[in-house]
Amino acid sequence: MNKKLETLHKQLVANQKKINNSSRNERIKKLKILKKNILEYTDEIKLALKKDFKKNPTEVDLTEIFPVISEINHTINNLGKWMKNQYVKTPITLIGSKSYIKYEAKGVVLIITPWNFPINLTFISLINAISAGNSVLIKPSEITSESSLIIKKIIENTFNENEVSVVLGGVKVAQDLLKLKFNHILFIGSPTIGKKVMEAASKHLSSLTLELGGKSPTIIDKNCNLKSASKRVIWAKLINNGQVCIAPDYVLVHKDIKEKFVEYLIRNIKNLYTKDSFNSPSYCRIVNNHHFKRLKSLLENAEKNGSKIIYGGKLNSKDNFIEPTIIENVSSNSNIYNEEIFGPILPLFTYEKIEDVISLINEKEKPLALYIFSRNNRNINKILDETSSGGVCINHNTLHYSNYNLPFGGINNSGFGRCHGEYGFKELSNKKSVFKQFSFFSPTDLLTPPYNSFKQKLIDLIIRYF
């Protein structure tokens, strides 16, 4: 076992009671300092992400900085309300008492975050944990090493080591961390690794939040605004070079509008990233050569099984570049049919009846997100009622994540638990039930042994009428 990790863990455990008892103002003060430091280090964050995978500075502002600052502001404005005891109704059979829910910290929280949005996903998870009064140990991804260094720098300039700590490293460090006893573990990543985290958590009966991924479908109904749909789909597919857990993984388009939809998709790719996306400063790269090779293999396997590239397909291994690529005729035997793509490759499928769409979606694991482009409310409601997913966007892509008033998370294979705003606060809090008898008399006093016929009649009345 790593002695340094054990020492950090012990410090966090020893300080947990103090942090748990911290007031609203103390937690808000921490969040304000965190906000100040993130804004001060914005240029360094942008430089780090440029080094990690050539991410455009404006895209960093939109997808990394803004969501974090927005989450902090929302939490500061609402934390007092969230922390209040939540009183619940008391049944008449318990007259003379009152009941409420008291939110207390889970305790020491381990947060393991991925490389695709290192700033966004790390700090939003941390904000939720701080708001609930937890001490935190963070392990950011070793893949985006420059971003992990700036995360560590910001944390060390914001918190004492016994409040929030960051450890850097790869798989071995993560494995050592998972041997320690945490009160809660929040993991963001793939379902494959999520299962391993869940197994490790079970040894200590740690509560768990898993934000995973999956194949998020996009449905293009015959009755939709095709120009708008094509622009929004391709924007959401190619932002961060497709390395987004809620990116449209594949498209189901009605056969009657397929050709027009493809025409609009290609036009929008060129509008967003020009005809030469390799030289577009707005188009970032696959994070490393390992993931480049994974995507290249998916594409080659799809072609081997009969798929046709209808746009793109250019690759440059030296720069981890994959051109925006649209494919069709994807066989169910292809790896890309079953595996999450996590890159700028978009498979198209056609359909005739909405029932066929629903059947295809339900054959797969439940996705993290589902997207519907339609003006037909009957079809929209049918899809909502007959499919299951972590979240849904109608006539747009991915924006449900941006609304901190909505709970964000998956279901089953795409994860469980919820984050953002009040939902993140509650996820990382223990909802402690409190019952208080304030009256000298309680009806239950009449029902204690020794039992007799009178008490039996009383119980019969309660069962029948209350």
Cα–Cα distance list, 438 to 303, 431, 442 (Å): 73, 22, 9
pLDDT, position 418:
97
pLDDT, position 8:
94
At residue 1 the predicted structure's pLDDT band, cuts being 50, 70 and 90, is low
When pLDDT is averaged across residues 219-238 and rounded to a whole number, the result is 97
* Residue 437 domain-assigned (yes or no): no
pLDDT, position 242:
97
Cα–Cα distance list, 366 to 7, 161, 195, 248, 332 (Å): 40, 39, 16, 14, 17
**Does the pLDDT value for residue 286 go beyond 70?**
yes
Q: Are residues 112 and 22 in the same domain?
A: yes
Whole-number mean pLDDT of the chain? 97
pLDDT, position 377:
97
* Residue 93 domain-assigned (yes or no): yes
- From the list 110, 235, 271, the residue with the least C-alpha distance to 185 is 110
- Residue 14: CB atoms within 10 Å: 12
Strand partners, 408: 419
pLDDT one-digit tens code per residue, 393-434: 999 999 999 999 999 999 999 999 999 999 999 999 999 999
pLDDT one-digit tens code per residue, 132-184: 999 999 999 999 999 999 999 999 999 999 999 999 999 999 999 999 999 99
> Which structure tokens are listed for 466?
């209350």
Q: At what angle do helices 258-273 and 226-238 cross, to 10 degrees?
A: 50
User: In this structure, what CATH number is given to the domain that contains residue 329?
Assistant: 3.40.309.10
Q: Are residues 49 and 9 in the same domain?
A: yes
* Residue 440 domain-assigned (yes or no): no
Instruction: Please indicate whether residue 300 is annotated as part of the active site.
Output: no
Q: Are residues 111 and 245 in the same domain?
A: no
pLDDT, position 465:
87
First vs last C-alpha separation in the chain: 57
Q: Which of 163, 224, 245, 393 is labelled catalytic?
A: 245
Q: CB-based contacts of 133: which residues, under 8 Å, 6+ apart? A: 19, 20, 21, 22, 27, 104, 105, 429
pLDDT, position 2:
84
Q: Compute the C-alpha angle 118/121/126, nearest 5°.
A: 115
Overall number of domains in the chain: 2
pLDDT one-digit tens code per residue, 340-397: 999 999 999 999 999 999 999 999 999 999 999 999 999 999 999 999 999 999 999 9
Instruction: Please indicate whether residue 419 is annotated as part of the active site.
Output: no
Task: Count CA within 13 A, CB hemisphere, residue 199.
Answer: 7
* Encoded amino acid at 161, one letter: E
Q: Are residues 173 and 56 in the same domain?
A: yes
* Residue 452 domain-assigned (yes or no): no
pLDDT one-digit tens code per residue, 232-281: 999 999 999 999 999 999 999 999 999 999 999 999 999 999 999 999 99
Task: Count CA within 13 A, CB hemisphere, residue 230.
Answer: 22
Instruction: Return the percentage of the chain with pLDDT > 70, whole number.
Output: 100
* Residue 22 domain-assigned (yes or no): yes
Q: Are residues 369 and 394 in the same domain?
A: yes
* Residue 73 domain-assigned (yes or no): yes
Residue range(s) defining the domain that contains residue 68: 3-212+416-430
Cα–Cα distance list, 361 to 5, 262, 349, 351, 386 (Å): 43, 21, 12, 12, 10
pLDDT one-digit tens code per residue, 20-77: 999 999 999 999 999 999 999 999 999 999 999 999 999 999 999 999 999 999 999 9
Q: Are residues 169 and 257 in the same domain?
A: no
Cα–Cα distance list, 252 to 6, 208, 218, 350 (Å): 50, 33, 6, 6
Q: Are residues 229 and 256 in the same domain?
A: yes
Q: Are residues 143 and 275 in the same domain?
A: no
pLDDT, position 238:
98
Q: Are residues 82 and 228 in the same domain?
A: no
User: In this structure, what CATH number is given to the domain that contains residue 20?
Assistant: 3.40.605.10
- From the list 307, 389, 376, the residue with the least C-alpha distance to 348 is 307
pLDDT, position 443:
87
CB 278 within 8 A of CB 241: no
DSSP letter, residue 96: T
* Residue 168 domain-assigned (yes or no): yes
Q: Are residues 144 and 264 in the same domain?
A: no
Q: Which of 163, 211, 328, 422 is labelled catalytic?
A: 211
Q: Compute the C-alpha angle 169/124/137, nearest 5°.
A: 40
The rounded distance, in Å, linking the Cα atoms of 87 and 99 is 6
* Residue 101 domain-assigned (yes or no): yes
> Which structure tokens are listed for 384?
């909502």
Q: CB-based contacts of 438: which residues, under 8 Å, 6+ apart? A: 96, 97, 98
Q: Are residues 294 and 357 in the same domain?
A: yes
When pLDDT is averaged across residues 205-218 and rounded to a whole number, the result is 97
pLDDT, position 426:
98
Q: Are residues 221 and 208 in the same domain?
A: no
